[in-house]
Structure 1
Amino acid sequence: MSRKVIIDCDPGIDDAVALMIALFDPRLDVLAVTSTAGNVNADQAFTNLQALIECLDPPRRPRIAMGAGPRSAPPVDSTFLHGSDGLGEIHLDVAKLHQTHPAEKLIGDEVRAYPEEVTILCLGPMTNVANCLQRDPLFASQVGQIVIMGGSLSGVGNVTPCAEFNCHFDAESARRVLHSKTTKTLVPIDVTSQVTFGIDLLENIPKGNSRVANLLNQILPYSFRSHRRHLAQEGICLNDAVALVALLQPELFETIPLACDVETQGDLTLGATVFDRRIVRTWTPNMEVASTVDVNSVKDCILRGIIQAARETAE
């Protein structure tokens, strides 16, 4: 039986790859996809989400909704890696919807409809899930599991010296979600960044005319160029696709129970994830945290997911 999933994302390029794999994986029943501000602003994130769903045209279209983003966020974004539109400057055409549903309402509705059955895959800042927790006191007990791409187990960040982007962008929401009495798995940046792809990834995209292949051939070259230019890296990380594999095949990751919190104030430490790993610990573990990854197997899963999605969208 397929697993019921809600994907909450801030569509940049790696979100798009994760989304196209998930929408065509028979193991998943993607009930809804929601957007939030992060890699791009809230309006652009929803435009990207809507455009991706229309472009991919999966056999079972999920419901979609827009999150407004946090009330205040630090002045950071990832457009230098993802392009001004978040999708490699391809500017997909999309018809604007006259009415959009609030993300927290859609997530809450689906979780209530299938209590303890829905897994939420958080690929961006945790604003929408935090709003759900605040909106409905029963939400925490009704959601099945939350898989989070975010945080740093080692304390080395990717947007500041000690903070990962998603937790830094909305630290208050990250803290609320991590403190919640939910079943959580954190897939931190130091694990996802071990899975890198070289330029030969482009050669593995199936030939021929398919919606997935056409989209990948537009967005991935931009990602390789931006990583080389801005990070001096020849390869790219598809962090969100790795988090999707952690949901699909958790046996490829080693996890450990840990107590984790998020710094919400410091000038130097905003968004840093702090784990109690003292000899004598006083914090109670509140999640499973991925600590190691079978790199080759996860890469193979992502490649197989891309190939499957390309075959499903061949024209």
Structure 2
Amino acid sequence: MTGVFNKAAKSTSSFQAVLPPDYQQQSGTCQRRVNIMFVQVCRYSFVLLIIYCFIWKSVRGEKIIIDTDAGGDDAVAILMMLRFEAFKPKTSSFEIIGITCTYGNTKLENVEINVLKTLTIADRKDIPVYSGVHSGIIEKFSSDNFFGEDGFGDVQFDREIIATIDRSKYAPTAIVDMVKENSGNVSIITLGPLTNLAMALTLEKNLTNHINHFYIMGGSIAGVGNSRPNVEFNFAADPISDFVVFNATREEQITLLPWETAIDTDLTKEWRREVFTNYDSPYVEFLNKVESVSLKNSRNPRWVSSDAMAAACLIEPNLITTYVAKNVDPVTFGKARGSVLVDYTERTGKLRNTKIVQKTDNKLFKKMLIRYLSCEELSC
């Protein structure tokens, strides 16, 4: 490293050869001082770079609020985040400070109990859970029961539930309070419709100034819908709330995992069955039950766990291999209601509010699923 600095310092004296001889002699001392100062600046800059990198790594994964509609894939996502928190790197300050419940995969009452079941499996009764909205601002609640009538495979849960719902606050109010209490050090991940979040942003107009980042699973950015043509399920549930959220955020404040990216996976249902049945893990046993109905209902040979992938993007940013930053504007009326307009050519001049995840590392995703759910690498 010293050789590099010396070489760089010598290069600064190259201009001296073109100066008159008498000036060269007079400037000798000055030039030596310049060389010394140059080397010192380089060394200090190098040290500052190391400090910056350390600080960046140490603050990754701050306080987290999970907003969920608690279907089978939500359970995978929540358990992954809980396990990451339990075995987080020493440099990480990742902490789940609250879970808010919303309608979506099933009605709100089922979502509440499903969240409590998941926390019970993880032996976590310390995380506050708040109940939120029953339906969209305009849209009425509807579900195709893809994950079962209760959203969790309609199976018997034999354990005594240890977690509870905090009824002292409505979920949107709880979001506002948690964000303001952790201003500048909190991010929110949404796994269902955006109604709770939109209401929180409406209650506190400048709330986004206190939030680091939003991780959102939803939306169809290339016309491949799973609810209606061009419309994804979560965004179809409440287009007004979609619009509120995406028009309240700052430049690149949202990381969006759209439906097209979620289904672009080489994980098959066969892989999921074979791998997850080989491990003696309470998490795997639980997930095999709560996903039993969805695995039967899906005609897709691939295993699509969109919420789990969104959670994986949060806890391991390297999972995202390709993304593009563009303005995303939800559509609130007409036949395209619930879809989004992506300003790919940047004709509108609007800020790039969203990082759209385009490609993920499927091999890494598989490793993360096994790492956090199998109990092989990390103890249960």
Normalization by structure 2: what TM-score? 0.74
Contact 1:261 1:273 in 2 (8 A): yes
Q: In structure 2, which of residues 127, 142, 162 is the aligned counterpart of residue 62 of structure 1?
A: 127
Contact 1:88 1:223 survives alignment (8 Å)? yes
Structure-2 change in CA distance of 1:310 and 1:42 (3 Å): farther
Higher radius of gyration, 1 or 2: 2
Matches within 5 A, 1:151-300: 151-182=219-250, 183-195=253-265, 196-205=267-276, 210-227=281-298, 232-253=299-320, 254-266=322-334, 268-278=335-345, 280-300=347-367
Cα shift at 1:139: 1.1
2:167 counterpart residue number = 99
> How far has the Cα of 1:192 moved from its partner?
1.1
Q: Output the CA distance in 2 between the equivalents of 1:14 and 1:42.
A: 16
CA shift at 1:235, angstroms? 2.9
Q: Partners in 1 of 2:172 and 2:187 — Cα distance?
A: 15
Aligned to 2:78: 19
Between the aligned partners of 1:42 and 1:167, the Cα distance in structure 2 is 17
Asked whether the equivalents of residues 171 and 263 of structure 1 are also in contact (C-alpha less than 8 Å), the reply is: yes
Shift in Å at residue 72 of structure 1?
3.3
Q: Does 1:122 align with 2:190?
A: yes
Q: Describe the superposition over 1:76-117 as per-residue Cα deviations: whole angstroms up to 9, x where unpaired.
A: 4241x2000000111547588593531112222211111111
Question: In 1, Cα distance between the equivalents of 2:242 and 2:338?
Answer: 8
2:11 corresponds in structure 1 to none
- The Cα of 1:20 is off from its aligned counterpart by 0.9
TM-score (norm 1): 0.89
| CA distance in structure 1 between the aligned counterparts of 2:132 and 2:376, rounded to whole angstroms | 27
Please state whether the residue corresponding to 1:236 is helix, strand or coil: coil
| Amino acid paired to 2:289 | Q
> Contact conserved, 2:107 with 2:141, CA < 8 A, in 1?
no
1:214-258 per-residue CA deviation (whole Å, 9 max, x = no partner) reads 20231233322111xxxx223320000000111122222222110
State the distance in 1 between where 2:173 and 2:123 align. 24
Find the counterpart in structure 2 of residue 45 from structure 1. 111
Cα distance in 1 for partners of 2:123, 2:264 equals 31
Pairing partner for 1:138 from 206, 214, 223: 206
Look up the SS of the partner of 2:120 in the other structure. Answer: helix
Asked if structure 2 preserves the Cα contact closer than 8 Å seen for 1:178 and 1:260, the reply is yes
In structure 1, list runs of 5 or more residues that go unmatched. Answer: none
Counterpart contact for 2:216–2:310, Cα < 8 Å: yes
Offset at 1:75?
Answer: 5.7
The SS at the match of 2:355 is strand
Q: Is contact 2:73-2:291 (8 Å) kept?
A: no
Query: Compared with structure 1, are the counterparts of its residues 159 and 30 closer, same or farther at alpha carbon in structure 2 (3 Å cutoff)?
Result: same
Q: Is the 8 A contact 2:128 2:165 kept in 1?
A: no
Q: Aligned partners of 1:9, 1:311: CA distance in 2, in Å?
A: 25
% identity of equivalent residues: 25
Question: What amino acid maps onto 1:72 in structure 2?
Answer: I
Residue 176 of structure 2 aligns with which residue?
Answer: 108
Q: Helix, strand or coil: the match of 2:345?
A: coil
Distance 1:191 1:174, change over 3 A: same
Tell me the distance in 2 between the aligned counterparts of 1:23 and 1:220: 19
In the alignment, residue 213 of structure 1 is paired with which amino acid? V
What is the rounded CA distance, in whole Å, between the counterparts of 1:105 and 1:88 in structure 2? 31
Q: Secondary structure at the match of 2:291?
A: helix
Give the gaps of 5 or more residues in structure 2.
1-57, 89-93
The answer as to whether partners of 1:224 and 1:235 remain within 8 angstroms in 2 is no
Taking the aligned partners of 2:225 and 2:258, their CA distance within structure 1 comes to: 10
Change (3 A) 1:311 1:282: closer
Whether the 8 Å contact between 1:211 and 1:310 is mirrored in structure 2 is no
Higher normalized strand content (fraction of residues): 1
- Distance across 2 between alignment mates of 1:123 and 1:5: 13
1:20-58 CA distance string (max 9 Å, x none):
111111333111111101111122211211222123313
What residue in structure 1 maps to residue 34 of structure 2? Answer: none
Deviates more, 1:26-35 or 1:88-97: 88-97
Distance verdict in 2 for CA 1:294–1:200, change over 3 Å = closer
In 2, the alpha carbon distance for the partners of 1:280 and 1:242 equals 31
CA contact (8 A) 1:12 1:87 kept: yes
